[in-house]
Amino acid sequence: MRPLVGVTAWRRNLDTSIGIEPLQTLATHYTDSLVAAEMTPIMFPSGLDPAEADRLVAMVDGVLLSGGDDIDPATYGAENTDSKDIDKRADEFEIAVIETARSQDKPVLAICRGLQILNVALGGTLAQEVLSSGTVHEVIDDNTDMDELQARRHVVHLEEDSIIAGLYGSTEAKVNTLHHQGIGELSPELIVEGRTEDGLVEAARCRGDWWALGVQWHPERMDDEHQDIFDLFREKISGG
């Protein structure tokens, strides 16, 4: 049987045929990548009571922490300087999902915001704005063309003994650039897998026996080379 994977969603107000409606959203890129790796995705709605995490995680074989908007800086003891569209309920629920997945020894794959909330849940902090002209992460503003944004790439330098370097067969990966926040202080419970030239941690894994791997980029939006991350996730869920 295909493993079941709980995937966190994000609540957004979107225009529908009956007006602006609050919707639970999840890009099909995530579900398509999971299905291609022979897994079955199950949506975890955003903002549920954290007490629901234990029962939900028990139902699935692994968890994918998807992208979304910013994490409330209060969650990691900081003032809000550059965080937008925060949702404290979403943060609390996802942190509960992470803690439960760890206690139940369920593998976790964390993507973009997923890596950020994993870091925060394990005691790390975030940089609330990593975009600046002339650095690895270019400015994204209201004038940025969406096609150009989707095409942007930057290089992540991977540690030689990293899981991802083993997957890619290289110590460099060219990845997409679709975030404005990133890791600040890395949790002591995480090990660096890769950094950009300016030092920002863009990939990390958990220490110890619990398998949790996070990347700042969006492998689900890239070519088949990046599908290997989802294939590895399935292997770990299956006990490999």
Average pLDDT taken over every residue of the chain: 91
Paired tokens of 58:
């028990």
Better-predicted residue by pLDDT, 190 or 179 = 190
Q: How far is it, in rounded angstroms, from Cα 45 to Cα 66? A: 12
Taken in order of first residue, the domains within the chain and their CATH numbers are: 4-128+182-237 (3.40.50.880)
Give per-residue pLDDT as tens, 207-229: 999 999 999 999 998 877 789 99
pLDDT at 136: 59
Give per-residue pLDDT as tens, 5-41: 999 999 999 999 999 999 999 999 999 999 999 999 9
User: In the chain, where does DSSP find H-type helix?
Assistant: 28-36, 53-59, 88-103, 113-121, 146-151, 163-168, 227-237
pLDDT at 76: 94
- The stretch 175-199 carries a mean pLDDT of 90
Does the active-site annotation cover 218? yes
Single out the catalytic residue among 94, 193, 202, 220: 220
Single out the catalytic residue among 112, 189, 193, 202: 112
Does the active-site annotation cover 225? no
Give per-residue pLDDT as tens, 99-152: 999 999 999 999 999 999 999 999 999 988 777 555 656 555 556 565 665 667
Instruction: Tell me whether strands 62-65 and 108-111 are parallel, antiparallel or unpaired.
Output: parallel
pLDDT at 176: 85
Q: How far is it, in rounded angstroms, from Cα 84 to Cα 71? A: 8
**Confidence category of residue 193, pLDDT binned at 50, 70, 90:** very high
pTM for this prediction: 0.92
**Contact present, 97 and 57 (Cβ < 8 Å):** yes
pLDDT at 60 over 90: yes
pLDDT at 143: 62
Does the active-site annotation cover 157? no
pLDDT at 211: 98
Q: Select from 67, 84, 72, 87 the least CA-distant residue to 8.
A: 67
pLDDT at 3: 97
Single out the catalytic residue among 137, 154, 179, 218: 218
Task: State the maximum Cα–Cα separation within the chain, in Å, rounded to a whole number.
Answer: 53
Q: How far is it, in rounded angstroms, from Cα 19 to Cα 129? A: 33
- The stretch 197-206 carries a mean pLDDT of 93
